C-alpha cells in the first residue's frame, strides 16, 4: 500500500476542494453485483456505506437507480448522495440532493428516490464523513 506524506495529503485534499474532483481513499472496499455496486470505508468502530441499485433489470431498457447510504456505528457523521453521468463517467453531478446521517453511534440508513438511469446514463452512490477533518469522498463503481 502506498502512503502519502502529510504535506502531500494536505495538498491533494486542497486541490480536490478547489477543483471539485471526487476521489476515493485507498482503504475503500468496492463491490459489484448484477444490479448493484457499492463502496464502504471502515472506521475503528464501524463502517460507512454507499450503494447504488437498479430498480429494473437491464441497461438497454428504461431503468431507474437509487442510492442506499448507511452509517453503522462509525463514530462520525456522514453525508450521502446519488450521482449521474451522461458522458461515460467523465463528469458527475449530484441528482438526489445530499442526505445527512448525523448520529455515528447507532446504525442509520437512508435511501434516495429513484432517478432515471436508462441507456447512455451511469449512476454511482457516494458518501463523505463530515465530522472527520479532511475526509475523502467515497464513491461506488458506476453502473
Q: Is 4 helix (H, G, I), strand (E, B) or coil?
A: coil
Per domain, the residue ranges of the chain are 25-139
Which CATH code of 3.30.300, 1.10.287, 2.60.40, 1.10.8 fits the domain covering 25-139? Answer: 2.60.40
pTM of the predicted model as reported, rounded to 2 decimal places: 0.76
Band of residue 142 on the pLDDT scale cut at 50, 70, 90? very high
pLDDT tens digit sequence for 116-140: 988 899 999 999 998 876 689 999 9
Residue 82 has pLDDT above 50, yes or no: yes
Amino acid at each position: 500500500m502506498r502512503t502519502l506524506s502529510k504535506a502531500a495529503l494536505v495538498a491533494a485534499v486542497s486541490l480536490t476542494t478547489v477543483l471539485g474532483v471526487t476521489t476515493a481513499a485507498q482503504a475503500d472496499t468496492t463491490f459489484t453485483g448484477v444490479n448493484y455496486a457499492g463502496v464502504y470505508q471502515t472506521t475503528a468502530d464501524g463502517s460507512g456505506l454507499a450503494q447504488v441499485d437498479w430498480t429494473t433489470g437491464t441497461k438497454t431498457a428504461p431503468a431507474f437507480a437509487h442510492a442506499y447510504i448507511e452509517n453503522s456505528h462509525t463514530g462520525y457523521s456522514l453525508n450521502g448522495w446519488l450521482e449521474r453521468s451522461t458522458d461515460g463517467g467523465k463528469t458527475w453531478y449530484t441528482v438526489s440532493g445530499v442526505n445527512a446521517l448525523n448520529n455515528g453511534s447507532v446504525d442509520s440508513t437512508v435511501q434516495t428516490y429513484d432517478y432515471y438511469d436508462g441507456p447512455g446514463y451511469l449512476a454511482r452512490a457516494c458518501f463523505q464523513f463530515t465530522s472527520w477533518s479532511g475526509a475523502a469522498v467515497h464513491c461506488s463503481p458506476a453502473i
